[in-house]
A and B are shown apart, each in its own frame.
Chain A
Amino acid sequence: MQLRDYIIRRLIVLPILLLGVSIIVFSLTRIAGSPVGVYLSHEMSAAEVLQIEQRFNLDKPLPVQYFYWLKGVFQGDFGWSGVASAPVADVFPAKFAATMELSITSAIVAVALGLWLGTYAGVRRNKMPDHITRIVAVSAASLPLFWFGILLLIVFWANLGWFPVGRSTNDIWESIAHPTGFYIIDSILAGSLTALLDALWHLVLPSITLGFGGVAIIARMMRSSLIEELQQDYVDAARAKGLPERLVLKRHAKRNALVPTVTVIGLTIAFLMQGAIAAEIIFRWPGLGRWMADAVVRGDQATIMTYVLFTSVLFLLANLVVDIIYAKLDPRVRLGD
């Protein structure tokens, strides 16, 4: 199968899965009862309530309600967020940018550091650096992200005062325009070095917190698959051709070891999305995660639904990208499922 056909086939499955997710999300909210409560107050009469129900089609059978809800979603109507006191769609973009900025930075940290560490340990199997990497990796996989963040805060914010919390220093944030909502990009567009440094400075602790677990997962997988690859016949065959060790490692062992590692990178993306909630609470990061946390505590259904739907879209897209990379790295995958 050609890579193109593979991608097309995967793209066809995507909306079907999303439809399934939307049904689950919708049914969940209806289990908790009618969302009409958001629009009600104590003084309303039964007639008034009915009127509101009719206005939002809440008097219709559930499948019809689902249809109206889905129609709304396609038209960009995600409902009213009680937490933000505004339509979900209005609040969403700015928070999304904040979360993405943090997640992408953490993902880069996790992938780059994880691959490097895994390779470093795998090549030096059973030597000191390898043992240390293994211990760090197992520990990191067991580390509660929110606790790790708090420890970093205790040391570097409360005691040493090296790093700030929040997303920006207020004055600097207000001194530049924010066309994209990504602080780093905005500051580059505005040509402000102060703003750029401010953005990066605020990113350090949260992205370490969020990226650390990913580093461990990726490093662990890279290490074990590299060790497995190094025992393959074709690695010896490459040596028998007279290739220098550098090329044997790069072209034959490392490239192939990346194949299973890439699937773990897909898992890491879920890890990042989940972790973002706790990380945003701890570092007072004004993103989707903190919004979701508020919504969860206060039962803001529209926000919860949007968030779940949205993370699933992101998660599925990210996995699609991962699978494409996977298929590109390993031609055998394309043969069939």
Chain B
Amino acid sequence: MSMEMSDTKSARPVTPVTIASVRGLKVHFQSKAGRVHAVDGVDFDVRDGETLGLVGETGCGKSVTGRAFLRLLPVPPGILAGGSVMFRPQTTCPDCQGDGCERCDDSGRRPAPCPKCRGQGCTTCDQTGIESLDLLTISDARMRDIRGDRIAMIFQDPSKALNPTLTIGEQLGEVFLQHRHADLLAAAGIAEDQPGWQASALRRLASQQDRGTDRLLVKLSGAMRRKHRAIRQALDERIAAALSETQIPNPQRVMQSFPHELSGGMRQRVMIAQALACDPDLIIADEPTTALDVTVQARILDLVRQLQTSRGSSVIYISHDLSVVRHICDRVAVMYAGRVVEIGDVEQLFTNPRHPYTQGLLAAVPTTRTPRGQLAAIPGSVPELIDPGPSCRFADRCAKAHGPCASHDPALQPVSAGHDVACFLEHPITTASRARA
């Protein structure tokens, strides 16, 4: 990992194609005291190949927003109260087979065509010809196809997100078996439509749909055992390759290990390998370095950055650490109390923050120039989000709060190109803000 790479951010210019867009997302939680509006009308886009930072304090709804992409919310008590999360899956570019050409902007990947009109443009895809899925409403089966394959997640604490009773190889293997069983079968010389009960049994085994009898068959028949071994071998090769991509030394040994036998940094590398296994279009990284030692953090960050750039995946990077976000992200969305209050390019937002909350957050980050004993803090604490009324959520803590702040809800509106803010200091009350209340 060279220093230039992490400093230059994306090697490839960010194309303004959006891969995912969140509109009016609302996630509520039913508690004894009332309905907690954990996420309450969040809007943002994720552009293809970019890293979008999602920052805010604990409990601002950033993790819940991230989890909504994979529909990994506990329902109940969670309630998907409204909005949409549109996602445009990518496929290998049909013109260059992934080698990179002009039509796919050298990325080797292009948006999947709308299945209804095969890319011709129809009412379903709004004449764009591109497949677009609402992740909140698609079927469970379709969701499962997307999870781990097109959208993957890196969890905060790798020691909790890895199952302590299974080896690393077994856990990583699950991803390939779930989404790449066709490749594994092909590698073992079994055609997708090969007839016969032996082939069916092996297909079931490779796709984790085996019945008790299938394992018995493999034990009994020598021919099947050989085929099955070939599948296992193809699987092991892929696991080892995925592990070595995250710079894990000696992947053969790590595969046999249990999570508790690895260091924290190694475990997170395994999580990253697992997330990147199927070349996802979008990676949700939920504070992936918070649980790690500071020395390991930097290396993990560089690794994520490097792998993402080389593959052209998009990343939603959830963090409360502004310095990390500045280092790694292309754009940043600042969340407060279930809302996005400011979103913009990282440089713009950090050099010219417009929302008082963002300003407060940035002032609270100590730098080498901060005099001793002068750490800034935002007064007050995050409001309880039980059945909130129509007002700016930050009004109680805001030094610049004035008339409309207590009675109206501000909406995100542009202040400059690629920089939106939801604050009455920047915008007068509009019909949009009233409508939201």
Interface residues of A (CB under 8 A from B): 232-234, 236-244, 247, 251-252, 255-256, 259, 329-332, 335
Q: What does DSSP make chain A's interface, helix, strand, loop or mixed?
A: helix
* Contact of B164 with A242 in the complex, beta carbons under 8 Å: no
* Contact of A241 with B165 in the complex, beta carbons under 8 Å: no
Q: A233-B160, A239-B147, A242-B148 are in contact. Are A331 and B260 (CB under 8 A)?
A: yes
Q: A242-B144, A243-B178, A331-B260 are in contact. Are A237 and B149 (CB under 8 A)?
A: no
Task: Say whether B153 faces chain A, with CB atoms less than 8 Å apart.
Answer: yes
Complex A-B: 28 CB contacts under 8 Å: A232-B160, A233-B156, A233-B157, A233-B160, A234-B160, A234-B161, A234-B164, A236-B72, A236-B161, A237-B161, A237-B163, A239-B147, A240-B70, A240-B147, A240-B155, A241-B148, A241-B175, A242-B146, A243-B144, A244-B144, A244-B208, A247-B208, A256-B165, A329-B165, A330-B165, A331-B260, A332-B164, A332-B260
Measured as residues with beta carbon below 8 angstroms from the partner, the interface class of chain B is 20 to 34
Complex Cα gap A329–B258 (Å): 12
* Smallest CB-CB A-B distances: 8 pairs: A242-B148, A242-B147, A241-B148, A233-B160, A237-B161, A234-B163, A240-B153, A233-B161
Q: Which residues of A contact B179 (CB under 8 A)?
A: 242
**Complex: chain A residue closest to B258, CB-CB:** A331
**Complex: chain A residue closest to B76, CB-CB:** A126
Complex Cα gap A242–B274 (Å): 12
Task: Say whether B152 faces chain A, with CB atoms less than 8 Å apart.
Answer: yes
Q: Which residues of A contact B161 (CB under 8 A)?
A: 233-234, 236-237
Q: B109 → chain A, closest Cβ, in Å?
A: 19
Complex Cα gap A234–B260 (Å): 14
Q: B9 → chain A, closest Cβ, in Å?
A: 27
**How many pairs of A and B residues are in contact by the CB < 8 Å rule?**
76
CB within 8 Å of A: which of B149-207? 149, 152-153, 155-157, 160-166, 174-175, 178-179
Complex Cα gap A251–B163 (Å): 10
**Complex: chain B residue closest to A256, CB-CB:** B165
* Contact of A256 with B163 in the complex, beta carbons under 8 Å: yes
Most-contacted residue by chain B among A236, A237, A329 (CB, 10 A): A237
Q: Which residues of B contact A244 (CB under 8 A)?
A: 144, 208
Known: A240-B147, A241-B174. 20 other contacts (CB 8 A): A233-B156, A233-B157, A233-B160, A233-B161, A234-B163, A237-B153, A237-B161, A239-B147, A242-B148, A242-B175, A243-B144, A243-B178, A255-B165, A256-B163, A256-B164, A330-B165, A331-B165, A331-B258, A331-B260, A332-B258
Most-contacted residue by chain A among B147, B160, B174 (CB, 10 A): B174
Q: A242-B175, A242-B179, A243-B178 are in contact. Are A259 and B162 (CB under 8 A)?
A: no
Q: Which residues of B contact A239 (CB under 8 A)?
A: 70, 72, 147
Q: Which residues of B contact A240 (CB under 8 A)?
A: 70, 72, 147-148, 152-153, 155
Query: Among the listed B149, B160, B163, which residue makes an inter-chain contact with A252, where contact means beta carbons less than 8 Å apart?
Result: B163
Task: Say whether B145 faces chain A, with CB atoms less than 8 Å apart.
Answer: yes
Complex Cα gap A237–B72 (Å): 9
Q: Which residues of A contact B160 (CB under 8 A)?
A: 232-234
Q: Contact string, B108-123, partner A, CB cutoff 8 A, digits 1/0?
A: 0000000000000000
Q: Which residues of A contact B166 (CB under 8 A)?
A: 251-252
Q: B120 → chain A, closest Cβ, in Å?
A: 30
* Contact of A243 with B174 in the complex, beta carbons under 8 Å: yes
Q: Which residues of B contact A233 (CB under 8 A)?
A: 155-157, 160-161
Q: Which residues of A contact B260 (CB under 8 A)?
A: 331-332, 335
Q: Contact string, B258-289, partner A, CB cutoff 8 A, digits 1/0?
A: 10100000000001001000000000000000
Q: Which residues of A contact B208 (CB under 8 A)?
A: 243-244, 247
**Complex: chain B residue closest to A244, CB-CB:** B144
Q: Which residues of A contact B144 (CB under 8 A)?
A: 242-244
* Contact of B165 with A237 in the complex, beta carbons under 8 Å: no
CB within 8 Å of A: which of B358-399? none
Q: Contact string, B207-218, partner A, CB cutoff 8 A, digits 1/0?
A: 010000000000
* Contact of B72 with A241 in the complex, beta carbons under 8 Å: no
Q: B267 → chain A, closest Cβ, in Å?
A: 11
Complex Cα gap A233–B147 (Å): 16
Q: B234 → chain A, closest Cβ, in Å?
A: 18
Complex Cα gap A335–B258 (Å): 11
Complex Cα gap A329–B162 (Å): 15
Complex Cα gap A329–B144 (Å): 28
Q: Which residues of B contact A234 (CB under 8 A)?
A: 160-164
Q: Which residues of A contact B164 (CB under 8 A)?
A: 234, 256, 330-332
Complex Cα gap A239–B70 (Å): 9
Q: Which residues of B contact A251 (CB under 8 A)?
A: 166, 174
Complex Cα gap A247–B173 (Å): 13
**Complex: chain A residue closest to B71, CB-CB:** A239
Q: A19 → chain B, closest Cβ, in Å?
A: 35
Complex Cα gap A320–B119 (Å): 64
Q: Which residues of A contact B165 (CB under 8 A)?
A: 255-256, 259, 329-331
Q: A331-B258, A332-B258 are in contact. Are A241 and B274 (CB under 8 A)?
A: yes
**Complex: chain B residue closest to A235, CB-CB:** B163
Complex Cα gap A259–B164 (Å): 11
Q: Which residues of B contact A247 (CB under 8 A)?
A: 174, 208
Q: Which residues of A contact B274 (CB under 8 A)?
A: 241
* Contact of A242 with B163 in the complex, beta carbons under 8 Å: no
Q: Which residues of B contact A332 (CB under 8 A)?
A: 164, 258, 260
Q: B147 → chain A, closest Cβ, in Å?
A: 4
Complex Cα gap A239–B145 (Å): 11
Complex Cα gap A237–B277 (Å): 14
Complex Cα gap A111–B72 (Å): 33
Q: Which residues of B contact A238 (CB under 8 A)?
A: 163, 174
Q: A334 → chain B, closest Cβ, in Å?
A: 9
Q: B244 → chain A, closest Cβ, in Å?
A: 20
**Complex: chain A residue closest to B73, CB-CB:** A236
* Contact of B178 with A237 in the complex, beta carbons under 8 Å: no
* Contact of A237 with B175 in the complex, beta carbons under 8 Å: no
